[in-house]
């Protein structure tokens, strides 16, 4: 490692990490005929992937994309996703991966807020966005993958540029265009819902992303040494990727080490436990996970023993609360080692890494910081760092911390302090540096890895003419970790049903944000002296 200056802050970084995503793509080209991407009957090698990346990058430059321009990417997990991502980032554009589960209005917000000039999406996302085309004056070009018919709105097909995935090997063997890109230049905008108001775009750099490739490898090597083993020989690993690529977890924590090491990524159209077990058996998958409910569904499926799942040696997850028993179950049922970690959109995923025997011995921890990161626990007033064992707000720093929020200087100044990011999580560190998340200071629910900020849903409920007061809380769920549930007080003389309010939210927000239950209170919701709803007092209403 070495110390470098990042935006005026001395930062410890990996000395030999790829300097840019273009450099990582050039490195990955060397994996040649090794398979990279598998989706149904589509199989893409590293060589054919690189050909598609280079051809698309040239085309993007032809239509006017230059350094700093925003290129949005909105699609489900498809082989086209990593092609588009690297093609745009390698020429210096800022890639904006939009949540494919968002509603039309949420997608339009992301496009407008980022000032996107080029959109590459699948046909389903384009169908949602097209009716709002006139509301997006910055959007100059639209390229759609896998359309089933003629395209409206001056869009063109991705296939006319690079063809279908199984044909990438026939594309010309050209080099990626070269550009003047530095490690700390902007590379991505990942949107994270704000505790108030509209989502905020976390502005990530090339270094943020390439850091993960080394951090993950280092943590794996350290785990082997802690066990007393020799460092393992490099081998190609097969991963079943079920986390959406529009999350930095999949894009950064999974795809970056995969591309660096020449491993395989297998995509699913959507999660299906039986189909997943068939793929694990057929493709000899070594690793899967993403969020705890994936592990639970594999463990508890009644037909599990009908499949040969012996190739699985690692099931890792993060992004949602998990029961300590899950780590033990993974080890007992599969003979596999569990993995866990902690990060957030503002840290481009991985800050802590927790796996194998360390995780089994400390099942309530999310692990120690990766080698390039630092953690500290701060007092509520930010005046002093707290000693080992005391609970306070978790702060993190390292080369994975993003540059700030897109066009949100006040929010950036509030969250990012001299290289540290204020996480909003309440935590403690033990005497060996392992982090234990105790609670979240932010009013947030994590449902199967998806962040739901309560205020966003509450504001939608408040807009309903029959709702006078509303509170959203998280209720425990064995596999998803938490689910959103609402308590509302109606305006006197007006009525609304649970189904009506659920549909009201569903029409305005992504489906995973819709309350699974709605309770009605005839009295004012309990508040403290500052007027804040006492949500801990409400959770018991959903028990039993």
Q: What pLDDT does residue 530 have?
A: 47
Give start-end residues of each CATH 3.30.300.30 domain in the chain: 444-542
Picking from 175, 202, 232, 219, the residue whose alpha carbon sits closest to that of residue 23 is: 175
Domain 444-542 has CATH 3.30.300.30: yes
In the predicted structure, residue 364 carries a pLDDT above the cut 90: no
Q: How confident is the model over 30-72, as pLDDT tens digits? A: 999 999 999 999 999 999 999 999 999 999 999 999 999 999 9
| Lookup: tokens for 457 | 């849903």
Portions of the chain given CATH number 3.40.50.12780: 271-440
The stretch 226-231 carries a mean pLDDT of 90
User: What is the assigned CATH class of domain 16-204?
Assistant: alpha beta
User: Which pLDDT score, from 0 to 100, does residue 141 have?
Assistant: 97
- CB count within 10 Å of CB 532 equals 10
Q: Where are the CATH 3.40.50.980 domain residues in the chain?
A: 16-204
526: which 2 tokens?
């309990």
Q: Is 36 helix (H, G, I), strand (E, B) or coil?
A: strand
pTM above 0.75, yes or no: yes
Mean pLDDT of 196-203: 83
Q: Which structure tokens are listed for 143?
A: 């390229």
Contact 311, 266 (CB under 8 A): no
Between 57 and 380, the higher pLDDT residue: 57
- Residue 478 banded pLDDT, cuts 50, 70, 90: confident
Is 198 strand, coil or helix? coil
Dihedral (CA of 97, 102, 107, 109) sign = negative
pLDDT-based confidence at residue 269 (cuts at 50, 70, 90): very high
CB neighbours of 128 closer than 8 A, spacing ≥ 6? 103, 104, 107
Helix locations, 289-439, DSSP H: 292-300, 324-334, 356-361, 409-415
Give yes or no for residue 194 having a pLDDT over 60: no
Region 298-303: mean pLDDT is 89
- The residue count of the chain comes to 544
Query: What is the residue-wise DSSP string for 466-520?
Result: TEEEEEEEEEEETTTEEEEEEEEEEPTT----HHHHHHHHHTTS-GGGS-SEEEE
- b/e per residue 431-464 (b: at least 16 CB within 10 A): eeebbbbeebbbbbbbbbbbbbbbbbbbbbbeeb
State the DSSP code for 40. Answer: T
The Cα–Cα gap between 476 and 483 comes to: 7
Instruction: Kindly report, residue by residue over 410-423, the tens digit of the pLDDT.
Output: 999 999 999 999 99
Give the per-residue pLDDT at 529: 47
Strand ranges inside 261-334, DSSP E: 264-267, 287-290, 314-317
Average confidence (pLDDT) over 531-543: 77
Mapped onto helix, strand or coil, the DSSP state of residue 269 is coil
Q: Options 1.10.10.1100, 3.40.50.12780, 3.30.70.20, 1.20.1630.10; which CATH number does 271-440 get?
A: 3.40.50.12780
């Amino acid at each position: 490692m070495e110390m470098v200056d990042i935006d005026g802050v001395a930062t410890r970084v990996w000395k030999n990490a790829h300097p840019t995503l273009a450099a990582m793509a050039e490195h990955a080209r060397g994996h040649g005929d090794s398979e990279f991407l598998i989706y149904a009957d589509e199989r893409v090698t590293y060589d054919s992937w690189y050909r598609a990346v280079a051809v698309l990058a040239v085309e993007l430059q032809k239509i006017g994309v230059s350094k700093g321009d925003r290129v949005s990417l909105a699609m489900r997990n498809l082989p086209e996703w990593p092609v588009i991502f690297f093609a745009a980032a390698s020429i210096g554009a800022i890639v904006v991966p939009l949540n494919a589960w968002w509603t039309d209005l949420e997608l339009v917000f992301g496009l407008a807020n980022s000032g996107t000039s080029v959109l590459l999406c699948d046909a389903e996302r384009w169908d949602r966005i097209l009716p709002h085309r006139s509301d997006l004056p910055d959007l100059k070009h639209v390229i759609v993958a896998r359309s089933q018919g003629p395209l409206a709105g001056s869009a063109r097909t991705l296939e006319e540029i690079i063809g279908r995935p199984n044909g990438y090997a026939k594309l010309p063997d050209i080099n990626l265009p070269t550009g003047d890109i530095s490690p700390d230049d902007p590379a991505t905008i990942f949107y994270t819902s704000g505790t108030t108001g509209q989502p905020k775009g976390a502005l990530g750099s090339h270094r943020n992303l390439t850091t993960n490739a080394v951090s993950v490898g280092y943590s794996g090597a350290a785990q082997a040494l802690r066990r007393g083993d020799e460092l393992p020989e490099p081998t190609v690993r097969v991963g079943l990727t079920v986390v959406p690529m529009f999350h930095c977890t999949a894009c950064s924590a999974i795809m970056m080490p995969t591309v660096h090491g020449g491993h395989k990524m297998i995509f699913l159209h959507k999660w299906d436990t039986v189909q997943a077990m068939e793929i694990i058996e057929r493709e000899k998958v070594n690793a899967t996970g993403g969020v705890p409910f994936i592990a639970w569904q594999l463990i508890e499926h009644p037909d599990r023993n009908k499949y040969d799942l012996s190739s699985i040696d690692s099931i890792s997850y993060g992004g949602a609360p998990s029961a300590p028993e899950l780590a033990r179950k993974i080890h007992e049922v599969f003979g596999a080692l569990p993995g866990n970690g902690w990060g957030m959109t503002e840290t481009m995923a991985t800050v802590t890494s927790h796996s194998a025997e360390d995780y089994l011995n400390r099942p309530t921890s999310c692990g120690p910081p990766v080698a390039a990161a630092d953690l500290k626990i701060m007092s509520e007033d930010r005046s002093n760092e707290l000693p080992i064992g005391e609970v306070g707000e978790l702060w993190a720093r390292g080369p994975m911390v993003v540059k700030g929020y897109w066009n949100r200087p006040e929010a950036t100044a509030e969250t990012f302090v001299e290289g540290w990011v204020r996480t909003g999580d309440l935590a403690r560190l033990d005497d060996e540096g392992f982090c234990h998340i105790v609670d979240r200071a932010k009013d947030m629910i994590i449902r199967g890895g998806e962040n739901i900020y309560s205020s966003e849903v509450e504001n939608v409920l408040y807009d309903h003419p029959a709702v006078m007061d509303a509170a959203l809380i998280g209720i425990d769920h064995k596999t998803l970790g938490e689910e959103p549930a609402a308590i509302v007080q109606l305006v006197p003389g007006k009525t609304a049903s649970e189904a009506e309010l659920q549909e009201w939210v569903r029409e305005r927000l992504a489906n995973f944000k819709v309350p699974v239950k709605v309770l009605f209170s005839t009295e004012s919701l309990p508040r403290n002296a500052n007027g804040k709803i006492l949500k801990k007092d409400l959770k018991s209403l959903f028990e039993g």
